[in-house]
C-alpha cells in the first residue's frame, strides 16, 4: 500500500508524453482471444489493470510476455472458456471475455461482476444482445454459464443506451458469428474503434465503428495481428487539468487532441489558453478559473472519467458551476474529500453545485477510484500545505508513472510506501 505526499503551489511547466489507453489496451487484449497464434500489441501502458487482464488471458490458456512497451499474446487453439470471480472482482472489464469466449468456444463461464463505487452497474444490455445472437444464459452460484447450442448467428440489436462494454461484447461475439449483425445506438468511443481496427487487421469485417451503427459480417476464422494502442485521452486530459489548476503551461504530446474536443473546449471556457497540433496540445492555466457548466455524456460528449478532475479545477473558480453526471448513479464519493480540503460543493440527485473558493488547504484524503484519486492529486497540486492521498493503488490502475511525470513538470510530489 502506498500514499502520495504532495505540497501544493508549484505551477507545472514542461512536456509530458501519454501512453496507450487503458480502456483500449484491455479490449485489444481480449480481442486477441479470437484468433490462435502470436499477436503483438505496441504502446501497452504499464498499469495494474493490464497485469490483471494478463492473468485473465493466462487463465484461459494464453501465454503473455512483455517486450519493452509491447505485449505479446500467444493464444491457444482451444482456450479454457472461463473467467473466475477472483479476477472479475479485481476488474469489471473481464466481463468482455464473455463475447469472445462464446464466439471462440461456443460456451463461457464468467463470474457475474457486482456493483462498485459508481452504483449497481448491471450488464443487462450485454446479455440481451448476446441472446439475440443465439446465446443462452444460466446463473449458477454467482457464475454466468453461457452456451450457444446452435452457434452464434448475426442479428440486429438496438441498444437502449450506447454502452461501451455492451457494444464491445457484441462486436466480439459477432465477428465469428454466421451472417451479418447490425448494432444500433452503438457507443462511439475511440477505444472501441481501436478494438474494431485490430479486429479488421485480424480479418474481421466491421464497418461503422466510431459511429452509432456498426455492421459486422461474420467470417469463419481470424488471424493474429500487430497493432499499436491508441493514446490515452483520459491521461492526456488529466495532465491538462493539472496544468490548468496550477496556472502552469504544459505541452501534452503523443496524444490525439481530436479525442478530447469537448473536454478541451470546456477547459478553454474556464480561461485556459489552448493550442494544438495533430498529436499534441498545450494548456496554459488562468490565475483563477471562470465557472463553467457541463454534463457528462457518451462520446463525443464530456467524458464521465474527466468529471472529477474538472470539478477539482472548478472548486477554485470565481463563481458557481453546475455539473450533471448522466452516466453513473453514484460517482460522488470524491466530493466529500474535496470539501474536507475547503471546497464548497453540494449534490442534488445527479447535479453538483460547485461554489468556487479562493484557496484549498491540505489534509489527508482517500482516492476511492482511479479518477477520484487523480482529481484529488490535481486539487492537492494547488492546495496550501502538504496533502496526503491514500488508496493510490486505484490511481495505479490507470496512470503509468503518474508521480514521476508530475514531478518532472515541477510538482512537489512523492510516493511513500505504507511501511516507510
Ligand atoms: N449499463 C447498464 N446496463 C448494461 C451496461 C451498462 O445499465 O448492460 C450502464 C452502466 O451501469 C453505466 C452506464 O450504462 O451506468 C455506462 O456504462 P458502459 O457500459 O458505457 O461503461 P463500461 O463499458 O462498463 C467503460 C469504461 C469506464 C467508463 C465507461 C463510460 C472500460 C474498461 N471502462 O465502462 O472507465 O467510465 O465506459 O465511458 O472501458 C475508467 O477508466 O476509470 C472507467 C471507469
pLDDT tens digits, 261-306: 999 999 999 999 999 999 999 999 999 999 999 999 999 999 999 9
Whole-number Å distance, alpha carbon 254 to ligand 1 midpoint, is 25
- pLDDT for residue 80: 96
pLDDT classification of 118: cutoffs 50, 70, 90: low
Question: Based on the domain organization, do 209 and 235 belong to the same domain?
Answer: no
- pLDDT for residue 92: 86
The angle at the Cα of 219, spanning 203 to 128, to the nearest 5 degrees, equals: 110
Question: Based on the domain organization, do 27 and 9 belong to the same domain?
Answer: no
Report the atom number in ligand 1 closest to the C-alpha of 164. Answer: 20
Total count of domains within the chain: 2
Whole-number Å distance, alpha carbon 165 to ligand 1 midpoint, is 6
CATH of the domain at 361: 3.65.10.10
pLDDT classification of 113: cutoffs 50, 70, 90: confident
Last residue of a domain, one of 228, 250, 279: 228
Whole-number Å distance, alpha carbon 118 to ligand 1 midpoint, is 10
Question: Based on the domain organization, do 255 and 296 belong to the same domain?
Answer: yes
Question: Based on the domain organization, do 180 and 295 belong to the same domain?
Answer: no
Report whether pLDDT(117) > 70.
no
Task: Give residue for cell 474529500.
Answer: 337
> Is residue 116 flagged as an active site residue?
yes
pLDDT classification of 114: cutoffs 50, 70, 90: low
- pLDDT for residue 329: 87
- pLDDT for residue 198: 98
Burial 46-66 (b: 16+ CB within 10 A, else e): ebbbbebbbbbbebbebebee
pLDDT in tens, 304-356: 999 999 999 999 999 999 999 999 988 898 999 999 999 999 999 999 999 99
Last residue of a domain, one of 210, 228, 246: 228
User: Candidates 163, 296, 309: which one to mutate for ligand 1, based on the most atoms within 8 Å of Cβ?
Assistant: 163
pLDDT in tens, 14-42: 999 999 999 999 999 999 999 999 999 99
Mean pLDDT computed over every residue of the chain: 95
Nearest CA to ligand 1 atom 40: 305
Question: Based on the domain organization, do 220 and 257 belong to the same domain?
Answer: no
Report whether pLDDT(142) > 90.
no
Question: Based on the domain organization, do 13 and 57 belong to the same domain?
Answer: no
Contact 172, 159 (CB under 8 A): no
User: Candidates 19, 23, 94, 325: which one to mutate for ligand 1, based on the most atoms within 8 Å of Cβ?
Assistant: 23
DSSP letter, residue 224: -
Question: Based on the domain organization, do 290 and 218 belong to the same domain?
Answer: no
Nearest by Cα to 372 from 283, 279, 306, 308: 308
Last residue of a domain, one of 228, 262, 289: 228
Range of the domain at 133: 22-228
The angle at the Cα of 181, spanning 102 to 326, to the nearest 5 degrees, equals: 85
The DSSP bridge partners found for residue 352 are 323, 347
Put the strands of the sheet holding 226-228 in their side by side order: 63-67, 70-75, 37-42, 226-228
Report the atom number in ligand 1 closest to the C-alpha of 165. Answer: 23
Where are the strands (E) in 218-308, listed by range? 226-228, 249-253, 273-276, 280-284, 294-295
Residues with CB under 6 A from ligand 1: 22-23, 26, 93, 121-126, 161, 163-166, 187, 304-305, 327-328, 370-371, 398
Whole-number Å distance, alpha carbon 327 to ligand 1 midpoint, is 8
Query: How many angstroms separate the CA atoms of 124 and 370, rounded?
Result: 25
Question: Based on the domain organization, do 54 and 188 belong to the same domain?
Answer: yes
User: Candidates 98, 327, 330: which one to mutate for ligand 1, based on the most atoms within 8 Å of Cβ?
Assistant: 327
Report whether pLDDT(420) > 60.
no
Q: 274: burial class by Cβ within 10 Å (0-12, 13-18, 19+)?
A: middle
Question: Based on the domain organization, do 41 and 189 belong to the same domain?
Answer: yes
Whole-number Å distance, alpha carbon 116 to ligand 1 midpoint, is 11
3-state secondary structure (DSSP) of residue 369: coil
Question: Based on the domain organization, do 190 and 113 belong to the same domain?
Answer: yes
- Of residues 75 and 417, the one with the higher pLDDT is 75
Catalytic residue among 42, 74, 116, 278: 116
Question: Based on the domain organization, do 272 and 295 belong to the same domain?
Answer: yes
- pLDDT for residue 112: 83
Question: Based on the domain organization, do 27 and 147 belong to the same domain?
Answer: yes
Amino acid at each position: 500500500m502506498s500514499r502520495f505526499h504532495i505540497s501544493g503551489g508549484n505551477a507545472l511547466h514542461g512536456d509530458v508524453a501519454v501512453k496507450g489507453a487503458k480502456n483500449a489496451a484491455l479490449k485489444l487484449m481480449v480481442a486477441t482471444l479470437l484468433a490462435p497464434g502470436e499477436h503483438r500489441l505496441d504502446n501497452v501502458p504499464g498499469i495494474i489493470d493490464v497485469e490483471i487482464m494478463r492473468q485473465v488471458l493466462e487463465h484461459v490458456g494464453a501465454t503473455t510476455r512483455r517486450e519493452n512497451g509491447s505485449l505479446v499474446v500467444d493464444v491457444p487453439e482451444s482456450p479454457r472458456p472461463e473467467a473466475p470471480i477472483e479476477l472479475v472482482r479485481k476488474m469489471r472489464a473481464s466481463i468482455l471475455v464473455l463475447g469472445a469466449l462464446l464466439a471462440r468456444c461456443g460456451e463461457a463461464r464468467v463470474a457475474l461482476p457486482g456493483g462498485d463505487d459508481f452504483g449497481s452497474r448491471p450488464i443487462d444490455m450485454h446479455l440481451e444482445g448476446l441472446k439475440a445472437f443465439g446465446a443462452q444464459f444460466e446463473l449458477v452460484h454467482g457464475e454466468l454459464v453461457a452456451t450457444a447450442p446452435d452457434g452464434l448467428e448475426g442479428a440486429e440489436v438496438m441498444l437502449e443506451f450506447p454502452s461501451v462494454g455492451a457494444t464491445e461484447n457484441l462486436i466480439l461475439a459477432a465477428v465469428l458469428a454466421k451472417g451479418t449483425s447490425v448494432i444500433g445506438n452503438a457507443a462511439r468511443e475511440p477505444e472501441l474503434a481501436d478494438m474494431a481496427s485490430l479486429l479488421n487487421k485480424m480479418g474481421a469485417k466491421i464497418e461503422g465503428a466510431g459511429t452509432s451503427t456498426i455492421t459486422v459480417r461474420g467470417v469463419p476464422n481470424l488471424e493474429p495481428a500487430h497493432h499499436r494502442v491508441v493514446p490515452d485521452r483520459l491521461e492526456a486530459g488529466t495532465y491538462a487539468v493539472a496544468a490548468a489548476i496550477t496556472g502552469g503551461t504544459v505541452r501534452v504530446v503523443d496524444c490525439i487532441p481530436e479525442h478530447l474536443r469537448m473536454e478541451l473546449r470546456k477547459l478553454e471556457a474556464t480561461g485556459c489558453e489552448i493550442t494544438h497540433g495533430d498529436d499534441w496540445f498545450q494548456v496554459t492555466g488562468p490565475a483563477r478559473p471562470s465557472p463553467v457548466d457541463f454534463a457528462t455524456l457518451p462520446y463525443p460528449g464530456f467524458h464521465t472519467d474527466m468529471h472529477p478532475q474538472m470539478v477539482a479545477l472548478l472548486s477554485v473558480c470565481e463563481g458557481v458551476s453546475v455539473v450533471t453526471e448522466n452516466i453513473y448513479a453514484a460517482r460522488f464519493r470524491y466530493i466529500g474529500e474535496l470539501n474536507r480540503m475547503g471546497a464548497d460543493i453540494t449534490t442534488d440527485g445527479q447535479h453538483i453545485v460547485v461554489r468556487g473558493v479562493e484557496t484549498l488547504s491540505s489534509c489527508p484524503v482517500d482516492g476511492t477510484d482511479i479518477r477520484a484519486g487523480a482529481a484529488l492529486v490535481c486539487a492537492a497540486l494547488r492546495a496550501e500545505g502538504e496533502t496526503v492521498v491514500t488508496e493510490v493503488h486505484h490511481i495505479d490502475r490507470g496512470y503509468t508513472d503518474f508521480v514521476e511525470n508530475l514531478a518532472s513538470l515541477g510538482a512537489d510530489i512523492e510516493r511513500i510506501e505504507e511501511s516507510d
